[in-house]
Every structure is written in structure tokens, then in C-alpha cells.
Amino acid sequence: MKSLGIVNQKGGVGKTTTAINLSAYLAAGGRRVLLVDMDAQGNASSGLGLRGIERGLYQALTEPERAREFVVEGVQPGLDVLPATPDLAGAGVELAEQSGVLGEVLAALPGYDLVVIDAPPSLGPLTINVLCAADALIIPLQAEYYALEGLAGLMDTVDRVREALNPQLKILGVALTMFDGRTNLAQEVEQSVRGHFGELVFWSVIPRNVRLSEAPSFAKPIGAFAPLSAGAAAYKRLAEEVMQRVEKI
């Protein structure tokens, strides 16, 4: 079982959209996938139709040995979800001195090929738990200059976690999101990111796409909502790239 953290401390960069659609396409490719919603906002859960959930990840973090009880199975073919609930908002305080609890939860959930973890948009205790539990990270990066700000802080945190808590942690790749190829700005940002991160940047670029924005309101991943859209094609390609890289770690 490999665990992939979808991480960026900046909100609004397509992190949850990436977590949902990547999970769905990986499952559609024949893998057994668990999506863990580590964000108290619960958008990865609601985006797959899991609203009003009373028990989920918070309870699993409290009692890792009972984690299986809180998994919602068969949300999509091959895809299970450990959903977020509102009480997850208080878990950041409770986990301030406990960086390995998420790892204990995942250890109690064998049988999956891949675990995809949607981290919160912060560098607090919940995200630290993601960094400690993950084998590798995918960093969604919006194609604009402001999105580059703060990335250095994330990379510094990753280095610190490697040194102290998870020496095997890898960066699987950087995924450019919300890309509008018609603008010079987006092209310049892409050149800058590829120049800095080199082969870490996925070749698959996620475009700005109305269908991607609409899909969560219908509680479906893009492959089920609009399979012929540009957004669906982009995430399908990204899932293929991710699997190629996962097989090497």
C-alpha cells in the first residue's frame, strides 16, 4: 500500500479537486483506493456525496484500532472514503504533540493499493500528520505568481519532517492546476516552475474548466460527470503519470 498526500498550505489551488478526481481515476484503473479527507471543511467528502456524516476521520484518529468502522465503502467503484466531519476542526489542537496518529489509522486499514490524503490548506498539526504518514507528496500549484509564494515554506517543512520524522518522504510531483494557456502569465509561470523543479513537474496540466467546477455540486468526480471534458482528459492523464511514478517508489 502506498500513501500519497495532496498538499499545499495555500487554499484555492485545486487541491481537493485533484484529490477527488485523481482518486476516482486511480480506482477506475483497477486499483483499490482509499481517499482520506483530512480537511475539516470536508469538501472531498461532500464532493463525492458524503454530506451530514456524523462519524469519520476524527473518530478514527481518536481510536485508530477502530478505523475500519468509519470508512464509507463503495462511494465510487473501487473507491472508499474516510470522510471528514465538523469535529475534525478541533483535532489540530489535540494532535499538536502527536504527529504519527494518521499513520496508526492507515496501519489499521490494510488491503488498499493506494491511499490518497487530502490535506488541509495549512501547515498545522493535521498537515504534519499527513507528511508523516505519506510515502510521497503531490503538490497542486495554481498557474499564477501568488501561488509560488509560500511554496518555499512548504518545502522547508517537508525537509524538517524528513530530518526528524519521515526520512523516506518523497515529492512525487508538482501538478499545475487552473491553467489558462491563452495567457502569457500562465505560460511564464509554467516555464518558471519547470525551470525550478525540472522533472518533478508533471507533464499533465490541469486546465481551467467549467465542468471541473460544476462536478462537486453534483457529487461526482469529473470522469462520471463530464467524461469527455478537457478537465476529465487532463486528470486521466495525470492519474496515468502518477501510477508510473508510484511504481518506482
DSSP for 145-166 reads HHHHTTHHHHHHHHHHHHHHT-
pLDDT given for residue 145 in this prediction: 75
Confidence of residue 132 (pLDDT cuts 50, 70, 90): very high
Confidence of residue 12 (pLDDT cuts 50, 70, 90): confident
CA–CA dist 46, 39 (Å, integer): 11
The whole-number average pLDDT for the span 63-85 is 96
The conformation of residue 176, written as its DSSP 8-state character, comes to E
At the topology level of CATH, where does 2-246 sit? Rossmann fold (3.40.50)
pLDDT given for residue 189 in this prediction: 85
pLDDT given for residue 243 in this prediction: 96
Confidence of residue 174 (pLDDT cuts 50, 70, 90): very high
pLDDT given for residue 87 in this prediction: 87
pLDDT given for residue 47 in this prediction: 96
CA–CA dist 190, 87 (Å, integer): 38
Q: Is the pLDDT of residue 150 over 80?
A: no
Q: Tens digits of per-residue pLDDT, 198-228?
A: 999 999 999 999 999 999 999 999 999 999 9
Q: What mean pLDDT is reported for the chain? A: 93
Burial (Cβ within 10 Å: 0-12, 13-18, ≥19) of residue 200: middle
CA–CA dist 126, 139 (Å, integer): 16
Q: Is the pLDDT of residue 152 over 90?
A: no
CA–CA dist 81, 32 (Å, integer): 11
The identity of residue 60, as a single letter, is: A
Helix (H) or strand (E) holding 172: strand 170-177
Q: Is the pLDDT of residue 147 over 80?
A: no
The whole-number average pLDDT for the span 63-80 is 96
Per DSSP, the three-state class of 196 is helix
pTM for this prediction: 0.94
Confidence of residue 53 (pLDDT cuts 50, 70, 90): confident
